[in-house]
A and B are shown apart, each in its own frame.
Chain A
Amino acid sequence: MKTSTARFSMGIGGGLLAIAAMGTLVIGSTLALFSASETSGANAFASGTVTVGLGDTSSVVCNVSGMAPGDSSKAAATGSKTLDSCSYNVKYTGSSTAWLAVDVAVATTGTNLYTAGANGLQFYVAAGSTKIMNGTTYKILDGTDTNVVSGSTVEHILISKTAATTNTAVSFDIDYLLPLLAPNALQGGNTTITLTFRAVQSANQPIGVCEAGRQCNTITWG
């Protein structure tokens, strides 16, 4: 029992002593006694970038006037194949990996040389082996050929299922043909075509069912 009493007494006494010691330490601290501190290293957070720029090779802007039935550019399927092709050379310059796509806008002011039919102006747009526009059509997500409508932009045609890395170059070739059977009503008509090169981060958004050369609207493009 004693022992236990003594123990109890010792226990109580020791506890009081400890509290006193702590009180002394606290009192000593406020009185600028011995002390020390440690600061962690700075943690840095920087985002990746998604940017696009011009390619290393100059682009060729077409300004073709006086087109007559049968006229076509050098890489067109048929026709004279005597006129210069157009090109749009770009480069992905961001640090993050990215999905690349292109928008196609065909438009006119006045009589339209492009009729969205076989007898009007045809466009052959490609990025390497990936066909973007074939004559008057593009492919939607399931691969169905769909007419490009003048005045309405076709958006987000995927260029590749492989995410682009920094300095990935893309060269868009635009060839064209005015068929021999272009009707007389197209005389003096005009048409323009504009491409918009797009990039979006590939991280955290898998490409899913999208395929190169088809419209890809199942991911977020910005």
Chain B
Amino acid sequence: MRWLAAVAGLTTLVFQVGIGPASTSARFSAASSSPTSGFTGATLSPAVAPVITPVMAGRTIKLEWNPVNAPRSVAYSVERTLVGGATSTVCLAPSIPIVSNGLVACTDSGAAPDATYTYTELPYIDIPGSTPWSLPRSTSSVPFLVPRLSYLAAGSDVSSTGTSINVPYPTGTQSGDVLLLVSVSGRNKAPTTPTGWNQLVSQGIGGSSSSYLFVAWRVADAGTSVTLDPQANGSGASTRIVNYGRTNGNSATPVVATSSVVSGTATASTTFTPPTNVVTNASNAVVVSIMATNGATSPSLATSMGFTLRLSNNSTPGSGSVSIGLADTNVAMSGSSVSSPTWSQTGTSQAWLFATVAFR
């Protein structure tokens, strides 16, 4: 009986080791996990597409905005929308947007004068053949009226005491542009208007502030210069030609866009605002504010009133100094009274000569 019990016990042991529940639920095993590898997709920064600022650059519209960054090259889809009208893509090859001086810029060379546009841009990662990864399109720029005329350049200053000076047209002048002949002398005497030119202002001051401002204009011809006697004698005169070029697509012959040119003189002061506002008589006109003194420093705009300073110069062409300032703004509506900017001079204050004209 004891043997039988012992054999039965051994059988039970074998069963447990060989085929019992414990043997089927566990095996010798081991495991080891790898470090985790991570993958992150590119993003564009900032997360909101910057707004375009349109500005005139020569005869075309320059569009500028802050760049968007990404791990790869970023391109931009730029659209122009005619206010109340259609949308089209601009800044296409070969004039695609490029980064310059920290800004992205391109040129809209197809904009039409007198039209008002808004612009948007959509940045995207530029990978050929890909579904572009992009930001939502920017909000629209402020409406931009394409001017008929735009400041292009001021020609070389001819500072001389001569009686027959040759004043060159600015580089890039094209037939049909508006040319302004501006001469400031230290002698209170009027020059004779050259042939083919139209006098706008001929204004002088005597005494200690003795000076003279002469302004004439013409539609540019095929010439390259004009001859003038500034009547300056030993005082000398500073004379130059300023070009307001026709924007691309503008084939209209420019005209004066005010029924009365504003001009006059004023006593010496540090700052000066022409007391009479020019009133335009046509839409989309460029208004030009000109001032001159026989001061020894270059003037500036103290309060621009929307004018952009184009020219600020001082020279000593003869026995004395003369200074000149020129600024402009574009005015959309005909009949607008254009608030004058405030000019400023430093050093010993001199009497002011001024003129405000408009063209379209």
Contacts and interface: CB of A to CB of B under 8 A. Distances in A.
Asked if A pairs with B, the answer is yes
B40 A49 contact: no
Contacts of B26: 220, 222
Contacts of B131: 69, 119, 180-184
B38 A90 contact: no
Nearest to B131: A181
A129 interface: no
B129 interface: yes
B24 A68 contact: no
A95 to B, nearest CB: 10
A194 B36 contact: yes
A203 to B, nearest CB: 9
Interface residues of A, number: 60
A197 B29 contact: no
Contact of A187 (B25, B32, B37, B41): B41
Contacts of A140: none
B71 to A, nearest CB: 3
A196 B32 contact: yes
B11 interface: no
Interface string B36-57: 1111111110000000000000
Nearest to A61: B35
B72 to A, nearest CB: 5
A5 interface: no
A188 B38 contact: no
A48 B30 CA distance: 13
Interface in A155-177: 172, 174, 176
Contacts of B28: 47-50, 94, 96, 98, 200-201, 222
Contact of A176 (B27, B39, B70, B132): B39
Contacts of A186: 41, 133
Given A184-B132, A187-B44, A201-B29, A68 B125 contact: yes
Interface in B222-253: none
A181 B127 CA distance: 11
Interface in B125-174: 125, 127, 129-134
Given A69-B127, A180-B127, A180-B131, A51 B37 contact: no
Contact of A86 (B27, B31, B37): B37
Contacts of A131: none
B39 A52 contact: no
Contact of A184 (B29, B37, B38, B133): B133
Contacts of B134: 184
Contacts of B33: 194-197
A49 B27 CA distance: 11
A50 B32 contact: no
Nearest to B130: A69
Contacts of B129: 70, 180
Interface in A118-168: 119, 121
A113 B39 contact: yes
B34 interface: yes
A172 B38 CA distance: 16
Given A184-B131, A184-B133, A190 B37 contact: no
A26 to B, nearest CB: 22
B35 A220 contact: no
A66 B71 contact: yes
B34 A191 contact: no
Nearest to A89: B34
B32 A53 contact: yes
A192 B44 CA distance: 21
Contact of B27 (A61, A194, A197, A201): A201
Interface in B260-297: none
A65 B40 contact: yes
Contacts of B70: 66, 68
A94 B41 contact: no
A197 B34 CA distance: 8
B39 A192 contact: yes
Interface string B1-28: 0000000000000000000000111111
Contact of A190 (B29, B39, B125): B39
A222 B39 contact: no
Contact of A188 (B25, B42, B132): B42
Nearest 7 pairs between A and B by C-beta? A222-B29, A66-B71, A62-B37, A69-B130, A50-B28, A88-B34, A200-B29
12 contacts: A47-B28, A48-B28, A50-B27, A52-B30, A65-B71, A70-B127, A86-B37, A98-B28, A187-B41, A190-B40, A200-B30, A222-B29
Interface of B: 23-44, 70-72, 125, 127, 129-134
Given A62-B39, A178-B39, A194-B33, 15 more contacts: A52-B30, A53-B32, A61-B35, A62-B38, A65-B40, A68-B127, A69-B125, A184-B134, A190-B38, A192-B39, A193-B39, A195-B34, A196-B32, A220-B25, A220-B26
